[in-house]
Amino acid sequence: MIYSLAYLLNSGNIYYEAAGVVAYAILVSILIFAFSYLFGWVERKLIAKMQYRHGPTYVGKYGILQNMADLVKLLAKEIIIPENANRFILLAAPILLVAMNIFLIFLIPFVPALQLGSFGLGLLAVFVVLGFTPILIFLTGFSSGNKFADISAQRSVLTLISYEIPMIIVIATAAALAHGYSIYSMVSAQSGIDFAFLMPIGLFIFFIAMLAELERPPFDLREADSELIAGWLTDISAPYYALFLLLDYSRMFLGSLLISIIFFGGWLGPAFLPPIVWLVAKAFTIAIFITILRATTMRMRIDKILRIGWIWLMPLALINLIIAYMLLL
Amino acid sequence: MSITRVNIGPIHPSTHGVLRLVVDLEGDTIENIEPHIGFLHRGVEKLVETRMYMQCPPYMEKIDYVAPMSVDELYVAAVEKAMGVEVSEKAQYVRVVLLELQRIASHLFWVGSICNDLGQLFTTFMWGFRDRDMVLHLLEIATGQRMFYVNMRLGGLSRDLPEGFGEKTLELMDYLEKRLKEYENLIEKNPIFVDRMKGIGRLSRGDAKEFGVTGHVMRASGLDYDVRSERPYYVYRKLNFRKQYHLSGDNLARYEVRIMEIKESIRLVREALAGMPEGSAAGMPIKLITPNAKNRIVMESRENPRGEEMIYLVADPQKPYRLSIRSPTFINLAALNHMARGSRLADLFSIMGTLDLVLADVDR
Amino acid sequence: MKVERQALTEKVSVLKSEGFDYLVKITAVDYVSHVDAIYIMRNMDKNVDEVLEVEMDPSDLWLPTIIKHHASADWYERELSEMFGIEIKGRHARRLLLEKWDGKGSPMRKNFVWGEPYPKS
């Protein structure tokens, strides 16, 4: 099916190509939803095991339908918009955020044969679009007219901005090693050895920055529930909250995909499994590692997070860049 | 910079009940905190004036619902003192064992909830609750109830310890010691935890005295006053009890004092079980009591899990004429403004967490 | 130890200089004929308590504040003035501490009339 899709996309006939894009979009959307859903279940079960609990058991076999039940519950609830909220932004920003993240995942070629998003600056494009996230988060938090949301949005933006720069530097390093920003060149450059072994410092920085970008613990200032109730989501009504849960997991998917593409050779792997399975499996493993971190760490304080970002990650990223150039020479 | 006024509570994930804080923030720094308490005020002190003596213990237990037995025992001890009732030695030992178990349960609860306040995703919380529940199971074996025991009677307890209680307790104590090491690995070796706790919410020795804080808050600031060692009641004098204290007075010190107290309690339970004399621990059945208060004014204090709890009782023959409770969390909370002023908003909740508030105890 | 209320502040400061610098509790008892305010101070080094009793006429309830000497007296004094209707002189009158009601009378006084448990609306 994938190869017929590739044929459609490369056929040169505009109608066929359009049909191919639509089919691809549907395929990737299904993949995102499946990943979000399954990963939500795995995360619940895994954290439950770490806490000597059972996790969901009642709905479906091993509680696998529990998330569906939660989704239905959330969707069935009323939408409440606070009086002093900016109605338009509050309703538009979540949808924009989710749409943006799904678009970003479209840019990632799940199958090497697919040409979509394979233009020369593919990876850079991903990060350019990702850079819009803080603005939307700030808009959502600010427009809900809640002080907790306000504080949380400010924190969120501070974190994202100060961690984006080391991340971009690491990507530049990887691009230097791969001779280009295209995702294809990035992956094919790792056919010999993974970048994870070439630049372990880079992996470390990128992983931490990605955690901050995804707002996963210990950087989960967004939903700092013991301080800010639910952060910038405090005044978000249930159906939109369901959207944000989807956003949460799709961002996690995106983040783990990027890590596996830049550092672990993307879809490369022994041939007994198709490339798409390798890519998703790698992303899944990384996501599980993030989950284990989530269950054990405490939350860091905002000033400490910023300090680590500027004092440790920035110089380390530069050192990583220098080492990589020495490797190239 | 302008000041933002944030209203936290009365319904909030980490106020441990219904506490409302009005916090003035300058940027992320706390300028002033105005605690609003009283959402859980039930007027217990007034209510017991209309009840007979032995009708009161259930009300007393709900004052501190995390460690109900300690307040119950305090009240019964005050009534015993008013009526001049002696407690048999066996009953003293049994009470000490149960009280220390209650303390362990309460402290484990706290260890879990402090990590929750620091933003951990309920892992230590669940661990603490699980281990606490095992202790509660022991108490259930001993008293018949899981949480609200009402097992104290004048001169003893409602019933003796059942067969095999000692072995089960010792088994659990071994298990808990093993678990405490795991807690250490999970919590204390986490650099983020140390970073969030060390040097935060510092309370100097002089300020601790000035603000009258009590319990682990006081002992973490270097005021080594523990009622169990300074004014030993029951068999604490025989049990070779060592008070635990710390000098630095910050959040980490309060945490460490509590962990050391759990270890000390485990040791005390073992020692008390080993030295348990023969005899009966049963007290007077409620129906047989003919109230006859001898002493008019009685003051009795106990080292509860949360600090020194004191009862000032003016006794009538039939009913308490006036019962005034000095609750430890009430006065610890009053010092919150002093402790948290100037720190970050995120630290407010860790400081409040280390105070170990039980809002029912604050409001009475 | 019985203390006149005019001499209370002085007594507290003298006690504080003698080492009774830890305020355990301030409470009050309504004996109908008179109302007693009770201050429990502790000397931690010697481990002894000192109980000060201040007798007041029910028609003339006021106390001087000791907040200058003990910061911990703040909430206790507020509780007293709320529960017993004792006016604390020399400090700012603050909002009610424990009760969130607008009823009449002082709840812990013996002459307090128990009203309807729930207002009928």
Interface of B with C (CB under 8 A): 37-39, 41, 43, 45-46, 209-213, 223, 225, 230-231, 299, 308, 310, 312, 314, 321-322, 324, 326, 330-331, 334-335, 338, 363-364
Token pair of C38, please?
């009770």
Let me know: does B148 contact A256? Beta carbons within 8 Å.
Answer: no
Where is average pLDDT lowest: A103-107, B95-99, C15-19? A103-107
Residues in CB range of B70: below 8 A, 6 or more apart:
B64, B99, B102, B103, B106, B302, B304, B305, B309
Q: What is the pLDDT of residue B113?
A: 87
Against chain A, the chains showing at least 3 CB pairs within 8 Å are: B
**pLDDT, tens only, B328-338:** 988 888 888 88
Residue C44 carries which DSSP code?
A: T
Which has the higher per-residue pLDDT, A134 or B313?
A: B313
Q: What is the pLDDT of residue C102?
A: 61
**pLDDT, tens only, A284-297:** 888 888 888 888 88
Is C36 touching B (CB cutoff 8 A)? no
- What's the mean pLDDT in B38-61? 85
DSSP one-letter string for B254-311: HHHHHHHHHHHHHHHHHHHHHTPPSS--B---GGG-------SEEEEEEEETTEEEEE
From the options 1.10.260.40, 1.20.120.530, 1.10.645.10, 3.40.50.920, give the CATH code of B40-329.
1.10.645.10
Residue percentage of chain A with pLDDT more than 90? 0
- Assess whether pLDDT exceeds 80 at residue A316: yes
- Assess whether pLDDT exceeds 80 at residue A232: no
**pLDDT, tens only, A17-26:** 777 778 777 8
Q: What is the pLDDT of residue A222?
A: 64
Q: How far apart are CA B118 and CA B347, in angstroms?
A: 8
Q: Is A33 left (phi over 0), alpha (psi -120 to 50) or beta?
A: alpha
Confidence of residue A225 (pLDDT cuts 50, 70, 90): low
- What's the mean pLDDT in A146-156? 82
The answer to ipTM > 0.95 is no
Where is average pLDDT lowest: A85-94, B67-76, B204-213? A85-94
Which has the higher per-residue pLDDT, B295 or B211?
A: B211
Provide, as residue numbers in chain A, all residues whose Cβ is less than 8 Å from the Cβ of B28: 151, 302-303
Closest CA–CA distance from residue C85 to any residue of chain B (Å): 15
Where is average pLDDT lowest: A68-77, A86-95, B288-297, C85-94? B288-297
Q: What is the pLDDT of residue C110?
A: 81
- Assess whether pLDDT exceeds 60 at residue B341: yes
Let me know: does B333 contact B362? Beta carbons within 8 Å.
Answer: yes
pTM, two decimals, is 0.86
Is A54 touching B (CB cutoff 8 A)? no
Q: What is the pLDDT of residue C115?
A: 66
Q: What is the pLDDT of residue B57?
A: 87
Structural domain boundaries of chain B? 40-329
- Assess whether pLDDT exceeds 80 at residue C53: yes
Range list of β-strands (E), C11-71? 22-30, 35-43, 48-56, 62-64
Residue percentage of chain A with pLDDT more than 70? 91
- What's the mean pLDDT in B337-350? 86
**pLDDT, tens only, A188-211:** 777 777 777 778 888 888 888 888
- What's the mean pLDDT in B162-185? 89
**pLDDT, tens only, A72-128:** 888 888 888 888 888 888 888 888 888 888 888 877 776 665 655 556 667 777 777
If one counts every other C-beta atom within 10 angstroms of the C-beta of residue A149, the result is 27
> Residue A6's Cα: distance from chain center in Å?
26
Domains of chain C: 2-89 (3.30.460.80)
Q: What is the pLDDT of residue C100?
A: 61
